[in-house]
Structure formats: C-alpha cells, structure tokens
Amino acid sequence: MNLNFWRFELLNYKVVVTPSETNHNLDSDSEGDDIDVTTFKQLVSSLRYLCNIRHAIYRAVGMVSKFMSKPKWSHYHAAVRILRYIKGTLKYEDLKIKVNKSLKLMIDNKSTINRAKNSVLHERIKHIETKFPFLRSQVQNGVLEVMYCSTQKQLVDVLTKAIKTDQFLHLRDEISVISFE
C-alpha cells in the first residue's frame, strides 16, 4: 500500500479519520481546473483495488469513480482524502473470527421484518412480495434472525453513507475495526 502513497506523492500528507466528508457533494460542475485524466484513472483504479481489503471506502470510491472521464481538482482531492484515510488504517486487520450460529440481520424497517417472519400474502403488497421468499425461507430455516435496529445504530451505514465523524468512528468501532499498533 505504501507504493500508492509514493506513486501519488502523498507520503507527507496528514491522516484523516473518515474516507469522505459529510457535507461535500461532488458533481460534474465541481470547482477547479481539469486534471490529467490518466493520473486520476490510475488513482481511482488503485482505490478500487483497495476496496477489497478496506470495505469502509466503497462508498467514497464509488463517488469519485463517477468522474473518470472529466475529473476536476475537487474530484482529485476527494480521491486523495480516501488514500489519506487508508494511510491511517494501515495497521488494521481482519480478526477472521468464525461464527457457527444464525446471522442477525439488523433492519430499520418494521414492515420488512414482519414480511420476513410472516408468510401471509396481503393484497396490498403482493406486487413486491416476490422479494421476500428467499429471506423468509432463511429466517424459517434458522440461517438468519431478523431484528429491529434504529437508523442511528445501523452498522452498515459506515460502509454505505457519508456520515458525521463521531458516528463514523463509533460505528467503525462497533464492527471491530481496530489498529494493531
């Protein structure tokens, strides 16, 4: 991974604790001059590869990937921020803990939980009911256990949304991402 920091001249950049800013919206009309497309593509391609081992960057990498054809400086800075985040997580590893019991599926939608547990077909929802047989069968077979979880405590948000720093750090700790330093 240090090769990427050297390659993009980022060795002396400061570490950040989140891969993206919550209030920073990237769009094609973003500020700044155009930058070299080849350099940007190389940076984003490296980040996409790193998504395999640093799952917390998926959302941020997806955002900068949208601007591969005509990147601006603001897009480049957003991509660099992701590398600055990775630089701070170089000592993080997966604990590889095996679990031999049903997986808890935490859902913030009570009607979805009811449909997963109840096989009664309701006339009002039969057009969307095609999504639930697999989920319902996994619940009935004991593979999955569906439980309610408030939106503020959704662990998956750390992987799928730009969230405030304090919430990001809390949720990251909850999924046991730790440094081995």
Average pLDDT over residues 138-158: 86
CB-count exposure of residue 149 (10 Å: 0-12, 13-18, 19+)? middle
* pLDDT tops 70 at residue 113: yes
Q: Where are the domains of the chain?
A: 2-87, 97-176
At 67 the pLDDT is: 92
Q: Give the C-alpha separation, 2 to 56, whole Å.
A: 19
Average pLDDT over residues 60-88: 90
pLDDT in tens, 50-61: 888 888 899 899
Q: Give the C-alpha separation, 129 to 115, whole Å.
A: 8
At 82 the pLDDT is: 92
At 66 the pLDDT is: 92
Q: Specify the range with the lowest mean pLDDT, choosing from 14-23, 42-51, 56-65, 87-96.
A: 87-96
